[in-house]
Structure 1
Amino acid sequence: MHPEPALAPPTVSRTSFTDVPLAAGALRADLVRRLEADGTLTDARLRAALLSVRREVLLPYAYVRESGPGVEPIDWRLLDGAHPDDREEWLDLIHSDASILLQRDGEPLDALPRGPVRGPARGGHMTSMSTCTPASVEALQAVELGPGLGYLELGTGPGVSLALAATVTGRGHAVGVERDAHMAAFARRNLDRLDLGAEIVEGDALEGHAARAPYDRIHSGIGVPHVPAAWVDQLAPGGRMLTTLATRTPSWPGQLLVTRTRAGHVEAELRGRPTGYRPLLGYRWLSAVELRARVAADPGTERATRLAPPPDDAHGFWLAAAYLAPGLVRDFQAGTMTIVAPEDGAWAVLGPDGDTVRVHGPRDVWAELETVHARWERAGRPDTYRVDLADGAATQHVTSGAGPKALHWTLPPLGTLSGQAL
């Protein structure tokens, strides 16, 4: 039996797709080989799902960013997979390791013109995307999917990871919650064509989906600063839940794995990560872009430093710094390590030899990092932290362990965002 040819969404072109299934199948196989070669993909069931789920049905087009980092307004170009001039680039992109950008500023998705985005429509920011495949694979493996398990996905977007989960868990076991009506309808239509028995519900992901609770596995495709109580309440005994804990800096997130024992006890482990899911709508990341020119013009007063440049993979330290030296963000576009406190007009620029640092502004940003690093060293250089979710209430405490040298902090509340639809 030959796979059903993928039909074009209602975009500008309606070109035949007779050449797509064969090419897409080969590209899926290449994707799986890459994921196995770098050690990301280890689960046999998920491997089979990656080979079978037709990404070209779920991702029929994609935005490509034409302008560089920090350039505003952003120049976009839309690839239409139904158009022969776009097809090769589109197929390569949707089977790459990149995140696939699909929706700007909550726009309707049923009449997007291909090509450069010009005139008044230029600019805007992405409000929905498909997360890069390696990150999705790592997340789905971390929750340990299996046949017959009830699966809830929060902020499902176009439904790629939901389709993979549905393939593993089986028909009728996977449901996704999506806040945006346009994206929910888009994903539902495309998932129905794959006939996997997955369900899309339009609603507030912060509330989960009580109608089908409890769930054996919960996966959040959105970052949150604080774990919603509904998510914990809807996790079944023996269940596993994974989410990104969004900090104010995009480069220092945490990954939170929550488990509920068969006896009902909730345990949560937080680990620093180099990347994470984008935060919920309304959550504002800090950015160094607006201060970049000022930093270049006046790097600050030079002094010696007792802190060698912490390595990028010291994720346990950087995660702690996000909470214990709040309001800082790293400028990864700078030539040397540059840490900025944008709300305070302060920054620190490490010298090229790592022995000196230049500091500027009302905060000595580097001194704060030196203090956090010393505390992290005394605590035993922790990579993971425990989060207390026992009461499912507003206060959620984080600790690296017991004893006077342990690191401690409290997660910020959802606050006014708690009623924000996702």
Structure 2
Amino acid sequence: MLTPDWRVAFEAVPRHLFLPEVMWPSTEEGHTAVSMIHDPDGWWHWANADVPIVTQWDDGHHTGLDHGAMATSSSSMPTAVFSMFAELLVFEGAKVLEIGTGTGWCAALLAARLGEENVVSVEIDGEVADAARKALAAAGWHPEIITGDGLFGAPERAPYDRVLVTAGVREVPRAWIDQTRPGGVLVMPWGTHYTGQNPLVRLVVNDDGSAGGRFSSAARFMHLRSQRDRRVTRTDYVPGDVWPEGTRRSFTGLPATEVMDDSGYAVFDFVAGLLVPGCVHAHGRTRSGTRTMWLYGLSDPSWAAVFFDGEYPSESRVFQGGPRDLWDEIEAAHRWWTERGRPRHEEFGLTVTVDGRQEVWFREPSVLLPRSEVRAG
């Protein structure tokens, strides 16, 4: 919901001024190119829609109208931007560091709300940064745009009152906290390797240099380039057409609906990532229509495959290999979650300690999760 203190800024900075001639809105059918020249009505429809819009594929190496392999820059959906600004809780004259300039729209909104002299934005991609500068200048805004790796922040303009991160984060860089005043706030989408989900977290910097706070709404953002997942495939773990020697076989009664969700925003996906670290998952169907789920270890060759029996759920087949029993860990995480009443994102929080450890907690900072140190796999 758009709060009154941001309404003037949003009215002064329309999103369409920062969208390219060709863009790829996120629709139910996937990503289809929309061209201002060839389909102006469609372009305007999507420019005004509450959807994320991809503006770059494959780090700029993609050409043509078909979508690329990986979306690497975008314009966030307006409601997601509203949510982040609501968590940021800016005040008049607040000095803000933005990580991930993208199209420049958020930098312009911050400039309209706080004054362009109080806004610094860092973008790692030179072409994206140049396009943002041009769009900002054309719209009449001139916040400072720095081309560089946002992991290092912008120390020359520190300290900041607020830090807004518009890319998915798995490990919070120490530099962001060090460049924020005590009492200052960092808002970012934070998640694990298990899923592409990144719930928003609001961290408040303490006098001792630590920072902590609660998660809020679920979200999905492109990740910082240095924190992207290593791509894995089934053949990396199970190279042949038969189960490897030593495969462990069992059955499970956990229904597919409890552990697989096509929306990408399910609470259990978030919880599973917290309790089963260093693991990614994928799901789909066999040629015969059987729902399947695969789990892969990121730091070892562990894997698991589950074939869910829709007619007899207790007879769903499980195959596991490697040093970890990944499916058993998922079942244990599900038990932990259900025994505590299926808590939602808002009941979890994150603390970044002075020495950089990330501790995830449940309801209170003193109640750490069984596997609370979440590190990159």
CA distance in 2, matches of 1:221, 1:167: 18
Decide whether aligned partners of structure 1 residues 97 and 66 sit closer, same or farther in structure 2, where only a CA change above 3 A counts.
closer
Q: How far has the Cα of 1:211 moved from its partner?
A: 1.6
Q: Is the 8 A contact 1:397 1:410 kept in 2?
A: yes
- Superposition CA RMSD, Å: 3.8
Q: Identify the residue that residue 320 of structure 1 maps to in structure 2.
A: 271
In structure 2, the CA distance between the partners of 1:332 and 1:63, relative to structure 1 (3 Å rule), is farther
> 2:44 — aligned with what?
91
Instruction: Check whether the contact 1:378–1:405 (CA below 8 A) recurs between aligned residues.
Output: no
SS in 1 for 2:168: strand
What do the CA deviations read for 1:357-382 (whole angstroms, capped 9, x no partner)? Answer: 33223265443222112233455654
2:83 corresponds to which residue? Answer: 138
Residues 303-332 of structure 1, C-alpha deviations (whole Å, 9 max, x = no match): 352678438699554323113224132427
CA distance in 2, matches of 1:54, 1:324: 41
User: Matched residue of 1:222: which SS?
Assistant: coil
- What are the equivalent positions in structure 2 for 1:63-212 lying under 5 Å apart? 63-64=23-24, 78-81=33-36, 83=37, 85-107=38-60, 116-117=65-66, 123-212=68-157
For 1:258-316, what per-residue CA distance to the aligned partner results, in whole angstroms no more than 9, with x for missing partners?
1135x56644124375432211114343778868xx9xx99997735267843869955
1:126-155 CA-partner distances (Å, limit 9, x unpaired): 321112222121111111133321111101
AA aligned to 1:53 is V
Is 1:49 aligned with 2:49? no
- CA-CA distance at 1:179 after TM superposition: 0.7
Supply the distance in 1 between the matched residues of 2:91 and 2:307 (Cα, whole angstroms): 48
Q: Would you tell me which structure has more strand in proportion to its own residues? A: 2
- Please name the residue that 1:30 is paired with: none
Identical counterparts, % of pairs? 25
Seen in structure 2, the aligned counterparts of structure 1 residues 91 and 321 have a Cα distance that, compared at 3 Å, is same
> Residues 188 and 200 of structure 1 are in contact (CA less than 8 Å); yes or no, is this contact kept in structure 2?
yes
Whole-Å separation in 2 of the counterparts to 1:405 and 1:225: 18
Distance 1:200 1:288, change over 3 A: same
Instruction: Give 1:303's aligned amino acid.
Output: F
**1:390 paired to 2:344:** no
Give 1:174 deviation, angstroms.
Answer: 1.4
- Alignment pair present for 1:285 and 2:229: yes
Contact 2:13–2:108 (8 Å) recurs in 1: yes
Corresponding residue number in structure 2 for 1:255: 200
- In structure 1, distance between residues paired with 2:150 and 2:100: 6
Contact 1:340 1:348 in 2 (8 A): yes
8 Å Cα contact 2:152/2:176 also seen in 1: yes
Given the alignment of the two structures, is residue 372 of structure 1 paired with residue 321 of structure 2, yes or no? no
Unaligned runs of 5+ in 2: none
Q: Which amino acid in 2 is paired with 1:230?
A: A
Task: Quote how far apart the aligned CAs of 1:200 are.
Answer: 0.9
Work out whether residues 252 and 322 of structure 1, in 8 Å CA contact, stay in contact via their aligned partners in 2. Answer: no
Pick closer, same or farther for the CA change 1:149–1:248 going to 2, 3 Å.
same
Distance of 1:325 and 1:288 partners within structure 2: 17
Q: Distance in 2 between matches of 1:369 and 1:162?
A: 40
- The answer as to whether partners of 1:288 and 1:340 remain within 8 angstroms in 2 is no
Matched-pair contact (CA < 8 Å) for 1:220–1:242: yes
Q: Render the CA deviation track for 1:315-358: whole Å, top value 9, x for unaligned.
A: 55432311322413242788786431145452224333684333
Q: Secondary structure at the match of 1:90?
A: helix
Structure 1's 275 and 196: CA in aligned 2 closer, same or farther, altered over 3 A? same
CA gap 1:47/1:104 in 2 versus in 1, 3 angstroms? same
**Aligned residue identity for 1:148:** G
* Cα distance change of structure 1 residues 157 and 67 upon mapping to structure 2, 3 Å threshold: closer
- Tell me, yes or no, if the aligned pair for 1:286 and 1:342 is still in contact at 8 Å: no
Give TM-score scaled by structure 2 length. 0.78
Instruction: Tell me how far 1:189 sits from its aligned partner.
Output: 1.0
Which residue identity lines up with residue 130 of structure 2 in the other structure? A
Counterpart of 2:317 in structure 1: which amino acid?
A: R
Q: Which residue of 2 is the match for residue 339 of structure 1?
A: 293
Contact 2:275 2:369 in 1 (8 A): no
Distance 1:129 1:258 in 2: 24
- Post-superposition Cα deviations, 1:62-87, rounded to whole Å, max 9, x if no partner, equal 333899989xxxxx865442x2x321
Judging changes above 3 Å, is the alpha-carbon distance between structure 1 residues 130 and 354 closer, same or farther for their aligned structure 2 residues?
Answer: farther
What is the CA–CA distance in structure 2 between the aligned matches of 1:59 and 1:314, rounded to whole Å? 26
Q: Which amino acid aligns with 2:7?
A: R
